[in-house]
């Protein structure tokens, strides 16, 4: 009876109840979106280094080496000699080594010189890179495109292009004398691979008129034979006498990177929490305002024998209905948005946003919404209880 009465009461005041529920849903959606997008961005970054044990480059900070080598952001202070790369490539603990040479671009997208082995050893979600068309480069003037580059520049296998010197979008020095042929286009990964072009590192030497045998590289990626050898190899590289080098474990460097961005995430969470607090305040105000308009309804409830506590439970159940509907609506909108926007975000920005929005954190946030709604509704509920009790005492006199 109590549940049915609460539902009928909400239907009678459906406009006010609907507006309050929508306000709660929007505030919950803001918090859920902040948490979900933050988790997905972290996951996308971690996928970018899932198969790499060590990143080695010139002596610099861990974060700078990570950003420059994997995300092609920023620059490294110096280069690594080809002799050092060969030395560590042949180390007994190294299973594979892939060099990275940067410094050129195409329409603002970074061009990375490497070896064909990159496409089999570099992994996303522990899976090798996959081609949606074509294959790896075999000649100096072959180029492989990331999915986002191919889509935004409207390029396909068989097309030709010219590279530019430098990493800026507008370059004053073009490598116009060297024509590159598109031989492969990678499948979308939701990582920086989508926004890059890949050529043979020997082609980089040719572009700049240097000898391939003496070519310095910017950094290199290592796969280690066993997890137990990673720390030993890292220490040996960092203590290398012939050249000052830095060897980092990408996952640890990623943790340091997130610690620097924690303040931004906290700020967004605070803003979302303030929106939720305002919505809960609106819920309390709406319930208090409705008490004066529901005197007849409450009097009828008392007339049929219900005690003052019955009114308190009635208000709590009404609030429970609204917060549960708001929570489900927020989760549904976030799921639909993620599902509908996922292909567009991946193709346009190279960002992978999963549509799996029901996680432990989202469940916790929605549970917090429901519990907070119950706590807030105690204010008008207890106010109504006292008023009802006072009227009952006056009637008995």
pLDDT, one tens digit per residue, over 323-354 is 888 889 999 999 998 888 887 777 666 677 77
Shared-domain flag, residues 133 and 25: no
What pLDDT, on a 0 to 100 scale, did the predictor assign at position 236? 94
Note whether residue 257 is domain-resident: no
Residue 183: predicted pLDDT: 96
As to burial, measured by CB atoms within 10 angstroms (0-12 exposed, 13-18 middle, 19+ buried), residue 222 is: buried
- Has residue 254 been placed in a domain? no
CA distance 219 to 305: 81
Do the domain assignments include residue 380?
yes
Instruction: Say whether both 73 and 38 belong to one domain.
Output: no
Which residues share a beta bridge with 312?
none
Residue 253 belongs to a domain: no
Residue 209 belongs to domain spanning: 54-248
Residue among 4, 35, 3 at smallest CA distance from 273:
35
Tell me: do 243 and 330 sit in the same domain.
no
Percentage of residues in the chain having pLDDT higher than 70: 81
Q: What pLDDT score does 172 carry?
A: 47
- Note the pLDDT of residue 300: 64
What pLDDT digit, counting tens, does each position of 136-148 carry?
Answer: 999 889 999 999 9
How many domains does the chain contain in total? Answer: 2
- Residue 87 and residue 140 in one domain: yes
- Final residue of a domain: which of 218, 248, 278? 248
Are residue 183 and residue 84 in the same domain, yes or no?
yes
41-52 burial by CB neighbour count: b if 16+ within 10 A, else e?
beebbbbbbebb
Residue 170 has pLDDT above 80, yes or no: no
pLDDT tens-digit profile of 30-49? 888 888 888 887 777 777 77
Retrieve residue 150's tokens: 């191919």
What are 143's two structure tokens? 């180029």
Give the pLDDT confidence score for residue 243 in this predicted structure: 93
Do 80 and 183 lie in a common domain? Answer: yes
What is the pLDDT averaged over residues 2-18?
69
Q: pLDDT tens digits, residue range 267-313? A: 777 877 787 777 777 777 777 666 666 666 666 665 666 666 667 77
User: What is the C-alpha R_g of the chain?
Assistant: 30
Same domain for 277 and 345, yes or no, is yes
Tell me what the pLDDT averaged over the chain comes to. Answer: 82
Tokens of 342: 């996922």
pLDDT exceeds 60 at position 28: yes
* Residue among 187, 206, 217, 204 nearest 111 (CA): 204
| The token pair that represents 344 in the structure block | 């567009």
- pLDDT over 70 (residue 209): no
Query: Would you say residue 255 lies in a domain?
Result: no
- Contact indicator for 32, 363 with CB cutoff of 8 Å: no
Same domain, yes or no: 197 and 332: no
Per-residue confidence (pLDDT) for residue 298, from 0 to 100:
62
> Do both 40 and 67 map to the same domain?
no
Indicate if 215 and 316 belong to the same structural domain.
no
Q: What per-residue confidence (pLDDT) applies to 396? A: 47
Q: Indicate if 40 and 96 belong to the same structural domain.
A: no
Q: How confident is the model at residue 55 (pLDDT cuts 50, 70, 90)?
A: very high
Per DSSP, which regions of 135-218 are E strands? 142-145, 160-161, 164-165, 180-186, 197-200
Looking at 225, 248, 271, the residue that finishes a domain is 248
Domain check: are 28 and 77 in the same one? Answer: no
Q: What is the pTM of this model?
A: 0.73
């Amino acid at each position: 009876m109590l549940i049915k009465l609460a539902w009928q009461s909400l239907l009678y005041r459906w406009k006010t109840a609907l507006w309050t529920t929508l306000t709660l849903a929007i505030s919950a959606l803001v918090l859920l979106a902040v948490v979900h997008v933050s988790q997905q961005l972290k996951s996308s970054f971690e996928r970018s280094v899932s198969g790499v044990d060590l990143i080695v480059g010139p002596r610099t900070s861990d974060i700078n080496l990570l950003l420059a080598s994997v995300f092609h952001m920023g620059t490294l202070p110096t280069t690594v000699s080809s002799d050092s790369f060969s030395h560590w490539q042949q180390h007994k603990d190294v299973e594979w080594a892939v060099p990275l040479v940067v410094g050129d671009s195409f329409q603002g997208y970074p061009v990375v010189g490497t070896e064909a082995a990159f496409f089999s050893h570099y992994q996303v979600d522990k899976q090798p890179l996959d081609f949606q068309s074509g294959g790896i480069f075999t000649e100096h003037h072959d180029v492989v495109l990331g999915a986002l580059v191919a889509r935004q520049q409207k390029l396909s296998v068989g097309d030709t292009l010219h590279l530019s010197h430098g990493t800026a979008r507008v370059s004053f020095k073009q490598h116009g004398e060297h024509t590159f042929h598109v031989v492969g286009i990678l499948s979308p990964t939701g990582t920086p691979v989508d926004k890059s072009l890949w050529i043979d590192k020997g082609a980089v030497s040719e572009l700049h008129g240097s000898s391939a045998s003496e070519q310095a590289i910017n950094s290199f990626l290592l796969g280690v034979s066993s997890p137990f050898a990673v720390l030993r190899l890292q220490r040996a590289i960092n203590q290398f006498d012939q050249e000052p080098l830095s060897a980092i474990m990408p996952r640890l460097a990623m943790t340091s990177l997130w610690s620097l961005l924690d303040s931004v995430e906290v700020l967004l969470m605070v803003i979302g929490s303030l929106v939720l607090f305002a919505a809960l305040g609106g819920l309390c105000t709406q319930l208090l305002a409705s008490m004066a308009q529901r005197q007849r309804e409450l009097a009828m409830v008392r007339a049929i024998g219900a005690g003052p506590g019955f009114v308190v439970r009635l208000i709590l159940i009404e609030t429970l209905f609204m917060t549960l509907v708001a929570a489900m609506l927020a989760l549904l909108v976030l799921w639909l948005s993620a599902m509908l926007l996922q292909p567009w975000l991946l193709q346009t920005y190279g960002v992978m946003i999963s549509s799996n929005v029901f996680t432990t954190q989202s469940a916790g946030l929605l549970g917090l919404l429901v519990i907070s709604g119950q706590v807030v509704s105690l204010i008008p509920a207890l106010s109504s209880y006292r008023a009802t009790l006072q009227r009952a005492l006056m009637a008995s006199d």
